[in-house]
């Protein structure tokens, strides 16, 4: 049910009780009222085709009837127990069956929490402290993850740059940073410091930047050569790029992976998993006091999120689902590129058909330093026009969903055409 009050009234109320007037996630001047299928509505009743989809989880669209039915059926039986429950166990079985590197997993509530545990798990298993990550890679809010996520200054690799206050200076001693898509840089660091490095932590599709051919395979080979663990952060790519995630799509199996977003069907849920041998660090009797990894979470594996996730995965397993998702994404990429090219605007479509966006540049976007707009104002103008014409998305990502209709695509194509025209006029 829509709350009474205009969008501006809710924005003012938010400013009084929320720092910077928001939850910290998205434009605080937008207050969404509700969503259904491929659409969302703001508090003033403005309707949009939704390509934000909750920053990824709503792959089936908002309020999918089968997911809602599963949740409504579970609600009277209990919302959370802080104990094992059949629904959570069944979801764990389904995820382990789908994802190549998994034999066991533990549930948590958010992707950032999962990534934090992945780092800690690698350290516990190897007895080493250093983590090698990539400039521009996003892995949540832990101190290590907030090193060189979006550095404003370019420093020499492998020096990390903290992106947040409150991070102790000595965290930098345990984090190495390399450019994405550069195997030579990784090789040099491993050759010199492999005995201190617990793991390489990587988004297989870094934000929207694809791995170059052979890159992930090269990381896998070097980790094997130097005895370093390979962690795939699949919070975004899991069950999106393919049913088995980036591991299936790219044909590379890591040692540890994290999952989130899609596996909860829109409810807060994430997971960390690996082989039984590595996951023994969570079992105190088997790991011993020195290697045991303590892990608790009040809502971890709660049955509401579990049944939503189970139904979502069931739907994703149906024949043709990923073909539909990819063909929709390819159509969106093509129509956007055609409109920008017709308007004479330099651009690169970057990403995968299931997750992508445009950079306003002629450069090859292969890492954090090259994947930038020639003029950031162009991106602001373009995305403002899209929103004014009924397309709701992040300024840096476009998530296709399975709920998109032909009508949605027509609205989106018109919005792309208008935004390209507006931007062309402003550039001139």
Question: How does residue 403 score in pLDDT terms, banded at 50, 70 and 90?
Answer: very high
Q: What is the mean pLDDT of residues 67-89?
A: 97
Distances (CA, A) of 381 to 274, 318, 391, 425: 44, 39, 13, 11
Question: How does residue 235 score in pLDDT terms, banded at 50, 70 and 90?
Answer: very high
> In the numeric block, which tokens belong to residue 422?
């507006």
Maximum CA extent, the chain: 69
What is the predicted pLDDT for the residue at 428?
66
> In the numeric block, which tokens belong to residue 69?
């039915």
CATH of segment(s) 66-316: 3.40.640.10
What is the predicted pLDDT for the residue at 3?
87
Helix (H) or strand (E) holding 48: strand 47-50
The closest of 267, 303, 264, 265 to 76, measured between CA atoms, is 303
Question: What sign results for the dihedral spanned by CA atoms 243, 249, 255, 258?
Answer: negative
> In the numeric block, which tokens belong to residue 60?
């089936």
Q: Looking at the chain, which residues constitute the CATH 3.40.640.10 domain(s)? A: 66-316
Question: How does residue 289 score in pLDDT terms, banded at 50, 70 and 90?
Answer: confident
For residue 3, indicate whether it is catalytic: no
Q: Which pLDDT tens digit goes with each residue over 153-189? A: 899 999 999 999 999 999 999 999 999 999 999 999 9
Q: Report how far residue 57's alpha carbon sits from residue 71's, in angstroms, rounded to the nearest whole number.
A: 16
Q: Report how far residue 364's alpha carbon sits from residue 377's, in angstroms, rounded to the nearest whole number.
A: 20
Q: What is the mean pLDDT of residues 30-35?
A: 97
Distances (CA, A) of 243 to 97, 347, 410: 10, 30, 28
Q: What is the mean pLDDT of residues 380-406?
A: 98
Q: Report how far residue 57's alpha carbon sits from residue 174's, in angstroms, rounded to the nearest whole number.
A: 32
Q: Which pLDDT tens digit goes with each residue over 350-365? A: 999 999 999 999 999 9
For residue 51, indicate whether it is catalytic: no
For residue 399, indicate whether it is catalytic: no
Q: Report how far residue 311's alpha carbon sits from residue 40's, in angstroms, rounded to the nearest whole number.
A: 22
Measured at the CA of 396, the angle between CA 177 and CA 131, to 5 degrees, comes to 20
The closest of 353, 355, 300 to 57, measured between CA atoms, is 355
What is the predicted pLDDT for the residue at 380?
97
What is the predicted pLDDT for the residue at 1?
66
SS3 content of the chain, % helix, strand, coil (to 5): 45, 15, 40
Q: Quick check: 49 pLDDT over 80?
A: yes
Q: Report how far residue 57's alpha carbon sits from residue 141's, in angstroms, rounded to the nearest whole number.
A: 19
Q: Report how far residue 270's alpha carbon sits from residue 105's, in angstroms, rounded to the nearest whole number.
A: 10
Q: What is the mean pLDDT of residues 314-323?
A: 98
> In the numeric block, which tokens belong to residue 228?
């370093």
Q: What is the mean pLDDT of residues 256-274?
A: 98
Q: Report how far residue 235's alpha carbon sits from residue 56's, in angstroms, rounded to the nearest whole number.
A: 9
- Of 133, 261, 311, 339, the catalytic one is 261
Q: What is the mean pLDDT of residues 402-414?
A: 98
What is the predicted pLDDT for the residue at 250?
98
- Of 117, 138, 215, 399, the catalytic one is 138
Decide: 110 and 140 in contact? Cβ < 8 Å: yes
Q: What is the mean pLDDT of residues 377-400?
A: 97
Buried b (16+ CB within 10 A) or exposed e, 38-65: bbbbbbeebebbbbbbbebbbbbbbebe
What is the predicted pLDDT for the residue at 313?
98
What is the predicted pLDDT for the residue at 187?
98
Question: How does residue 2 score in pLDDT terms, banded at 50, 70 and 90?
Answer: confident
- Of 50, 115, 182, 233, the catalytic one is 233
Classify 391 as helix, strand or coil: strand
What is the predicted pLDDT for the residue at 50?
98
Write down the mean pLDDT value for the chain: 97
Q: Looking at the chain, which residues constitute the CATH 3.90.1150.10 domain(s)? A: 7-63+322-427
User: What topology is assigned to 7-63+322-427 in CATH?
Assistant: 3.90.1150
């Amino acid at each position: 049910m829509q709350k009474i009050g205009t969008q501006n009234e809710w924005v003012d109320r938010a400013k009084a009780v929320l720092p910077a007037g928001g939850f910290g996630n998205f434009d605080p001047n937008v207050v969404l009222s509700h969503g259904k299928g491929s659409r969302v509505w703001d508090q003033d009743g403005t309707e949009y085709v939704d390509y934000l989809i909750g920053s990824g989880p709503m792959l089936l669209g908002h309020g999918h009837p089968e997911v809602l039915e599963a949740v409504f059926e579970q609600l009277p039986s209990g919302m959370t127990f802080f104990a094992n429950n059949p629904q959570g166990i069944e979801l764990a079985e389904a995820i382990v069956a789908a994802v190549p590197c998994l034999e066991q997993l533990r549930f948590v509530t958010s992707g950032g929490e999962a990534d934090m545990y992945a780092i800690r798990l690698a350290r516990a298993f190897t007895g080493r402290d250093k983590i090698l990550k990539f400039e521009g890679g996003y892995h949540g809010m832990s101190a290590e993850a907030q090193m060189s996520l979006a550095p404003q200054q370019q420093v020499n690799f492998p020096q990390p740059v903290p992106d947040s206050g409150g991070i102790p200076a000595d965290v930098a001693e345990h984090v190495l940073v390399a450019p994405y898509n550069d195997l030579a840089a990784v090789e040099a660091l491993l050759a010199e410091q492999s005995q201190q490095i617990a793991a390489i932590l990587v988004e297989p599709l870094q934000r929207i930047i694809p791995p170059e051919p052979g890159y992930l395979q090269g990381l896998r080979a070097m980790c094997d050569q130097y005895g370093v663990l390979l962690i795939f952060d699949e919070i975004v790519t899991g069950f999106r790029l393919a049913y088995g995630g980036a591991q299936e799509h790219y044909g590379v199996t890591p040692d540890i992976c994290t999952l989130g977003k899609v596996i909860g069907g829109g409810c807060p849920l994430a997971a960390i998993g690996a082989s039984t041998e590595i996951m023994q660090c969570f079992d105190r009797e088997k790991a011993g006091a020195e290697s045991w990894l303590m892990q608790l979470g009040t809502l971890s594996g709660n049955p509401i999120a579990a049944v939503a996730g189970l139904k979502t995965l069931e739907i994703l397993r149906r024949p043709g689902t990923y073909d539909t998702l990819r063909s929709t994404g390819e159509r969106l990429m093509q129509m956007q590129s055609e409109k920008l090219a017709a308007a004479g605007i330099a651009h690169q479509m970057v990403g995968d058909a299931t997750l992508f966006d445009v950079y306003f540049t002629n450069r090859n976007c292969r890492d954090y330093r090259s994947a930038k707009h020639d003029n950031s104002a162009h991106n602001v103008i373009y995305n403002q026009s899209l929103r004014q014409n009924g397309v709701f998305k992040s300024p840096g990502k476009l998530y296709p969903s399975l709920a998109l209709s032909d009508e949605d695509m027509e609205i989106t194509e018109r919005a792309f055409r208008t935004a390209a025209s507006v931007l062309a006029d402003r550039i001139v």
